[in-house]
Amino acid sequence: MKDLSKVNNPYNDEKVISQCSIFGMMNTSGELVSGVPIITAIRNMHERGNGLGGGFAIYGCYPDRPDDYCLQIMFNTLVSREETENYLERFFHIHHSEEIPTCPLDAIKNPPDVWRYFVHPKMEEMHEVISEDDVVTRRVMRINTHLESAYVFSSGKNMGVFKGVGFPEEIADYFCLEQYKGYIWTAHGRFPTNTQGWWGGAHPFSQLDWTVVHNGEISSYGANRRFLEMYDYICTMHTDTEVIAYAVDLLARKHGLPIETVMDIFSPPVWEQIDRMGPDEKKYFNMLRSTYGSLLLNGPFAIIVAHHGEMVAHTDRIRLRPMVAGIKGDMVYASSEESAIRLVSKELDRVWIPTGGHPVIARLKVDEKHDVIVGGKELPGTTVMEAD
């Protein structure tokens, strides 16, 4: 029996060092938009990948079932699907299940079966006070570690991840993504750095409704992983990026930290800089580095993190990987290359290179007055800021 991690890697490379492409777009009014622009943008960065991984995350794509957790699972065998469905029936109320529609392509070789299940956890089975999110997380970890050839790669509400081995535009065609709509879209074209290209190892990585696309290399993976394992997160996808998704879930959802603080944990100033800060700022960063030092992301990275209501673009403090941000009306863009943004939105209200280590944060509008600060300037009509 073949393992999914060994399927569909035409080069059989153990290590390929190059680059990746990332792109994100958000409609801050919450309007659902087609995936055509982001597919066009990520295709424009085709040369940044090698066909070993591509994928998309979409928010708002299941409006008819907004309160159900959508477990999207890839299977390599019929037996693995049957075993997984037996497990789901034991621990979830299954409201609907179906094979995810695909459009066969010659470029996509030996794909796994990919299904989605709209579910709620059976809370009556729990003998402890625990949230639905924690129950779903626990069950997902169980499937990914104990059921052979079955991988849950998306588990949020009213959102979905679509990924696999191929160039991102091929993955978009394979999953018929032009037929979907969402108010946040993120995309990734992968050039695997330290791991083989395989379906589960493509980006985005997700935990509940948190998703991450990443360009770079996390050399602190071992320390990050050991810290997360203390909180029962189990890394199974064979890539460094997985720890970022789990770390965001731990820090933002479970520990209740604002996303600005999460990004400060990922890329804090060095100790020498902290020593020169004022008392309040020094106390803040000393606390973060002392408490969460093991979640510092060491190495070059540019990431786009998303969840319902928010999209965040962030880089390491010395910008070893590129990131460009742009705004046009209600649309906010983040990309590895400005050319990709210009291709889908030629006349931008603003385009800029974010400061290293300072996240660009786009949020849904919540009222009629939504002026915010963007790099020190008020931009009426936007909900975007570059954090201090």
What pLDDT was estimated at residue 16?
47
pLDDT of residue 55 exceeding 90, the answer is yes
- Report the topology of domain 4-215+299-386: Glutamine Phosphoribosylpyrophosphate, subunit 1, domain 1 (3.60.20)
- 198 confidence band (pLDDT: 50, 70, 90): confident
Share of the chain above pLDDT 90, in %: 76
CB atoms within 10 A of CB 196: 22
> What is the full DSSP assignment across 116-158?
EEEEEE-GGG-SS---HHHHHHHHHHHHHHHSTTEEEEE--BS
pLDDT of residue 282 exceeding 90, the answer is yes
pLDDT, averaged across the chain: 89
Cα distance between residue 163 and residue 225, in whole Å: 23
What pLDDT was estimated at residue 387?
56
Model pLDDT for residues 304-341, shown as the tens digit of each residue: 999 999 999 999 999 999 999 999 999 999 999 999 99
H or E element in which residue 343 lies:
helix 338-344
Sign of the alpha-carbon torsion through 363, 364, 370, 371: positive
Q: Using only C-alpha atoms, what is the Rg of the chain?
A: 20
Residue 97 burial (10 A CB sphere; 0-12, 13-18, 19+):
middle
pLDDT of residue 90 exceeding 90, the answer is yes
Cα distance between residue 170 and residue 320, in whole Å: 28
Residue 244 burial (10 A CB sphere; 0-12, 13-18, 19+):
buried
DSSP-based three-state secondary structure for 29: coil
CB atoms within 10 A of CB 228: 21
Domain boundaries in the chain?
A: 4-215+299-386
- 199 confidence band (pLDDT: 50, 70, 90): confident
- 366 confidence band (pLDDT: 50, 70, 90): confident
CB atoms within 10 A of CB 314: 26
What pLDDT was estimated at residue 384?
62
Which residues are designated catalytic?
Answer: 20
What pLDDT was estimated at residue 129?
67
